[in-house]
Amino acid sequence: MGTMRLGAVILTMGTRPAELRDLLRSVAEQQGDPIDVVVVGNGIKASQLPGLEQVRTLDLPENLGIPGGRNRGFDLLRALPPEQRPEAVLVLDDDGKLDGPEAAERIRAAFEADPRLGIVSFRICDPVSGEVQRRHVPRVRVGDPNRSSKVTTFLGGASAIRTAVIDQVGGLPDDWFYCHEETDQAWRALDAGWSIEYRADLTLLHPKAAPSRHATYAYNVARNRVWLARRNLPGVLIPAYLGVWAALTFARTRNRDSLRVWLRGFAAGWRTPCGPRRPMSWSTVWRMTRLGRPPVI
């Protein structure tokens, strides 16, 4: 068996050139065969950024959001000739950096050891404090962030996905712009029989940041969660899932303005088209439950 070919999709808006160069350096230093990198300029000309001469670039004339931009990168790599087409794709935030040169070989080993492993989620660690934020461990019961496990979702900017998964279940939902797009893809992958692993031995160094730094966070997190449920859950579970999240949001949110924005997004999720509805099977619901995350929490 030959060495598994790896690609990488890095989305950028050109605002972190030094961090992007550090990330590219960490990818280039990986052991094993070179990784075929595409840097996608989301509304900018990535082809004109300094230091990108050794990688592929893709210029998007407008900002398509995180899922739309990453999907265009997937499309470019998947369209390569068969002898160049990556068998798995790393998806990396442009202000992150792979911790050490062994990550690529560990990813190859993980995928080669389990032919039904579809997605690998990395541990995200702040490079200064060493902290791993709770929200970056995709388990309800986080426990030790240095413990690997099977999970039901993954971290979009610190992951690797088998190309066959994208071929079978599709990419990220293009029009979601930001929030929950990885969970939508994860649920479709689980329903198709793939597994997802959180691997603590694969670390992306990434500065600690709050998701609320994005201007559209409160609106998108509500709208897209409704879309997620409407697209993927059996009908009887939709009100249970959304009811739990609504209750948690009301209990946790102290800022009334943020809550109003969240409510507008929640309403928009019901009023607007969510895309094709393909409810998961009850066997997938049971599988997620056994993994500790039934699709009502």
Q: Is residue 1 part of a domain?
A: no
Q: How far apart are CA 162 and CA 106, in angstroms?
A: 14
Tell me which H or E stretch contains 200.
strand 195-205
Q: Is residue 220 part of a domain?
A: yes
Q: Is residue 82 part of a domain?
A: yes
Q: Identify the pLDDT of residue 49.
A: 94
Strand 56-60 versus strand 97-98 pairing type: unpaired
Q: How far apart are CA 19 and CA 10, in angstroms?
A: 12
Q: Is residue 152 part of a domain?
A: yes
Which of 209, 237, 257 lies at the terminal end of a domain, its last residue?
209
Residue with tokens 């190309």: 163
Helix axes 217-232, 181-191, angle to 10 degrees: 20
100 and 160 assigned to the same domain: yes
Q: Identify the pLDDT of residue 209.
A: 76
Q: Is residue 296 part of a domain?
A: no
Residue 280, CB half-sphere, CA atoms under 13 Å: how many?
A: 27
Q: Is residue 295 part of a domain?
A: no
Note the pTM of the prediction, 2 decimals: 0.95
Contact 97, 210 (CB under 8 A): no
63 and 184 assigned to the same domain: yes
Q: CATH number for the domain including 107?
A: 3.90.550.10
Which of 184, 209, 234 lies at the terminal end of a domain, its last residue?
209
Which of 187, 209, 231 lies at the terminal end of a domain, its last residue?
209
Neighbouring residues of 132: CB distance < 8 A, sequence distance ≥ 6? 123, 124, 125, 126, 145, 146
105 and 223 assigned to the same domain: no
C-alpha to C-alpha distances, 236 to 211, 233, 240, 266, 295, nearest whole angstrom: 30, 8, 8, 19, 11
66 and 181 assigned to the same domain: yes
Q: Is residue 179 part of a domain?
A: yes
The count of structural domains within the chain is 2
Amino acid at residue number 143: G
Q: Identify the pLDDT of residue 2.
A: 59
Q: Identify the pLDDT of residue 220.
A: 95
217 and 205 assigned to the same domain: no
249 and 190 assigned to the same domain: no
Domain of residue 184 covers 6-209
205 and 227 assigned to the same domain: no
Q: Identify the pLDDT of residue 214.
A: 53
Residues of the chain whose pLDDT is less than 50? 1
Q: Identify the pLDDT of residue 216.
A: 81
203 and 255 assigned to the same domain: no
187 and 219 assigned to the same domain: no
251 and 202 assigned to the same domain: no
pLDDT tens-digit series, residues 111-135: 999 999 999 999 999 999 999 999 9
Within the chain, what is the greatest distance between any pair of CA atoms? 58
Q: Identify the pLDDT of residue 254.
A: 87
49 and 153 assigned to the same domain: yes
Q: Is residue 261 part of a domain?
A: yes
